[in-house]
Amino acid sequence: MGTYTTCKVENCERQARSHGLCLLHYKRFRRGSDLLRPPRGTIKVCTVEGCERPVLAMGLCNAHYVRKRKGQDISPPIWERKINCVECGAKIGKGGQGRCRPHYKQYLKKTRSRELVSMLGGKCLVCGRKYPIGVYDFHHRDPSTKMFSISYHILNKSMEELIVEVMKCDLLCANCHRILHFGGSDEGKF
């Protein structure tokens, strides 16, 4: 038997089969793949600089592999899903924004309320004062057009539905709203 030549790819000690390449590198050559990529199973962590995740395919972790397949840039950092709530440290289940479910609901309610209040000017229509978000009430100008209570459905309805309903309202502080429904400042009626 004669002497065999080795694959012409650097650091590959396999026997050359065709075009001076071993079977692995020849298949990659035919497919147009990267010849210098190490063989499957030899890389344990992602090859992207700074990423320590385990390899899924092509020397990349799952996140970088998906980005590469979609033709996206793989250099931006990978967003890490938080395991514990940023507010209380409890395990995150069906929450969002890095919060557990109760704190996410609280966050969502405050965020939506703040947006709706700012849409109506951010101050009481009657007294003209600015208050914290929790002090305001949405007073329907025409009760017959009221589809639902905004404060009750702030988490259950879409933002578009809330905006449509808010446009039928005036923004009042709690005191002015009570006075409006009570019928004036008649103190003797208690």
What's the CA angle centered on 87, arms 83 and 93, to 5 degrees?
40
Distance CA 58, CA 31 (A): 14
Distance CA 70, CA 39 (A): 23
Residue 5 structural domain: 1-37
**pLDDT tens for residues 93-117?**
776 778 888 888 999 999 999 999 9
88 in a structural domain: no
94 in a structural domain: no
Provide the 8-state DSSP code for 98.
T
Identity of residue 146: K
Which of 53, 80, 107 corresponds to the end of one domain? 80
Q: Domain check: are 28 and 54 in the same one?
A: no
Asked whether the whole model's pTM tops 0.85, one would answer no
Q: Domain check: are 134 and 169 in the same one?
A: yes
133 in a structural domain: yes
Q: Domain check: are 18 and 44 in the same one?
A: no
Q: 43: buried, middle or exposed (CB in 10 Å: 19+, 13-18, 0-12)?
A: middle
Distance CA 100, CA 41 (A): 38
Q: Domain check: are 2 and 53 in the same one?
A: no
111 in a structural domain: no
For residue 54, the SS3 value is: strand
Query: What's the domain count of the chain?
Result: 3
Is the pLDDT at 27 greater than 50, yes or no? yes
**pLDDT tens for residues 67-83?**
889 998 888 777 766 67
